[in-house]
């Protein structure tokens, strides 16, 4: 079974530029999450999708961050304009609806904002 | 959300057991105890979870105190590959929502 795919793995941009990250969850996983992990900290949830609907985006800085999952499969997280404090690893995770107790994470996309 | 408390770091020698404690004194009767770990430059990966009884799988064992206010993740024979950050997380049983709230975790160092 293929894991959660994310791209790009690394991205360096200047502040005020925009960036987009892509995630393809494990086939059949209805729930998809985006997490932000700043160096030295645990991951922090940004947004949760159930199929193509948003379940929780209370922690998403909506003035600059946006995310979509139009067809209920892959998802894109966008930052525009980026700030220095957005430098972090952006992790995508997915799970089936049934309670398996397990979240599957991708390897993450590391963003550096200069 | 109920919170967990873990030591910042622990060291172990290769092939020795590692006992990682987690305190969750405000746990409710419907909270699962989950453990994830994060290897360097990787996303977190699931280790084990339990509710009331001790649990074993191929990766580790989870020992849950009788009052459920603490638990211990046990790696029976540490290898260099077990060097990682280990997170202890509570998740409500009654929720269909699997989102996890991560703390800072315990950084485990394994000496050869």
Cβ separation B43–A106 shorter than 8 A? yes
- Token pair 């791209």: residue: A7
Asked whether the predicted pLDDT for residue B2 surpasses 70, the reply is: no
State the DSSP code for A104. E
Among B81, B100, B104, B78, which residue's Cα sits nearest to residue B90?
B100
| Main-chain dihedrals φ then ψ at residue A53, nearest 5 degrees | -105, 145
Q: What is the pLDDT of residues A4-47, one digit of tens each?
A: 999 999 999 999 999 999 999 999 898 999 999 999 999 999 99
Pairing of strands A31-37, A44-50: antiparallel
Nearest Cα of chain B lies from the Cα of A65 at a distance, in angstroms, of 19
State the DSSP code for A86. G
Asked if A25 contacts A82 with a C-beta cutoff of 8 angstroms, the reply is no
When scoring B99, B101, B106, B107 by the number of chain A Cβ atoms within 10 A, the one with the most, hence best to mutate, is B99
Which helix (H) or strand (E) segment is B47 a member of?
A: strand B45-50
Identify the bridge partners of residue A95 per DSSP, sorted by sequence position: A31
B30 touches A: beta carbon within 8 Å = no
Q: How many CB atoms lie within 10 A of CB B111?
A: 11
Cis peptide before A81 (omega within 30 of 0): yes
Indicate the pLDDT class of residue B82, thresholds 50, 70 and 90: very high
pLDDT at residue B93 in the model: 73
Distance CA A108, CA A106 (A): 5
Asked whether the predicted pLDDT for residue A100 surpasses 80, the reply is: no
Q: Average pLDDT of A50-63? A: 93
Identify the bridge partners of residue B23 per DSSP, sorted by sequence position: B5, B70
CA-CA-CA-CA torsion sign (B94, B99, B103, B105)? positive
Asked if B26 contacts B1 with a C-beta cutoff of 8 angstroms, the reply is no
pLDDT at residue B95 in the model: 64
When scoring B9, B40, B43, B87 by the number of chain A Cβ atoms within 10 A, the one with the most, hence best to mutate, is B43
Helix/strand/coil for B82 = helix
Asked whether the predicted pLDDT for residue A102 surpasses 80, the reply is: yes
Asked if A78 contacts A19 with a C-beta cutoff of 8 angstroms, the reply is yes
Asked whether the predicted pLDDT for residue B62 surpasses 90, the reply is: yes
**Average pLDDT value over all residues in chain A:** 93
Nearest Cα of chain B lies from the Cα of A37 at a distance, in angstroms, of 10
Distance CA B58, CA B76 (A): 10
Share of chain B above pLDDT 90, in %: 83
């Amino acid at each position: 079974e293929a894991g959660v795919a994310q791209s790009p793995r690394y991205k360096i941009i200047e502040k005020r530029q925009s960036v987009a990250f892509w995630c393809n969850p494990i086939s059949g996983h209805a729930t998809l999450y985006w997490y932000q992990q700043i160096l030295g900290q645990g991951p922090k949830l940004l947004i949760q999708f159930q199929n193509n609907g948003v379940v929780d985006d209370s922690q998403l800085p909506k003035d600059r961050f946006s995310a979509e999952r139009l067809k209920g499969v892959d998802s894109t997280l966008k930052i525009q304009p980026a700030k220095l404090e957005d430098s972090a690893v952006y992790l995508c995770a997915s799970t089936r609806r049934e309670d398996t107790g397990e979240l599957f994470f991708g390897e993450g996309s590391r963003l550096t904002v200069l | 959300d109920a919170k967990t408390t873990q030591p910042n770091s622990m060291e172990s020698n290769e092939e020795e057991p590692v006992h990682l404690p987690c305190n969750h004194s405000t746990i409710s009767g419907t909270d699962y105890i989950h453990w994830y770990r994060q290897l360097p430059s990787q996303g977190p990966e699931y280790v084990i979870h339990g509710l009331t009884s001790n649990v074993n799988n191929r990766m580790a064992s989870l020992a849950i105190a009788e009052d459920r206010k603490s638990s211990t993740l046990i790696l029976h024979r540490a290898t260099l590959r077990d060097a990682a950050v280990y997170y202890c997380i509570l998740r409500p049983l009654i929720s269909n929502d699997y989102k996890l709230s991560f703390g800072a975790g315990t950084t485990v160092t394994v000496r050869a």
